[in-house]
Amino acid sequence: MFPSMDNDRFFLKQLANNKLSVSINGIVTNNVTRKQIGSFNGKFKRVGMKDFDSDIIRVIQAHRLLWLAYHGEIPKKYTIRFKDDNKKNICLDNLELLSYSENLRLKKLGGKNPKARFSDENVLQFRVDYKNKKINKEYIMTANKASRQAVESMLRKESYSHI
């Protein structure tokens, strides 16, 4: 099922009217209630908001909302992809706009994204070196220009398939 353009437009309108704000670090705030309604740290994958015009709750995937907030409307036949294939690493620099056909082509490659920051060998070595205290998270982040979330997920063995 493809995301609804009407749904995207609803959330774009909320952003434009300053009813919602989204930080590049993943915090979604309802500016009317001044409450955080979601975060992009893997705990919340969707954000919901009531549409008072149609009296329904509209829900959007968190990474789509982040893209909309900083890049605007997503063209038809395009999708937002996680560069490192780790769906828990929802931050702006980990997202890219791809056509459905390009996204499908990458999936046929076995789900491995050629733009992923870590190879299989890197991950195995990082885990061994980290366990033996030869390196720390900051080193991995800096040396590979990776987010803290991506490194922590990789070290906890939660995101091996994205490599």
The yes-or-no verdict on residue 1 having pLDDT over 60 is no
Provide the mean pLDDT of the chain: 81
- Work out the pLDDT band at 162, boundaries 50, 70, 90: very low
Report d(CA 42, CA 12) in Å as an integer: 22
For the entire predicted model, the pTM comes to 0.65
pLDDT tens digits along 50-105: 888 888 888 888 889 999 999 999 999 999 988 877 777 788 988 999 988 888 87
**Helix/strand/coil for 67:** helix
pLDDT tens digits along 115-137: 666 776 778 888 888 989 999 98
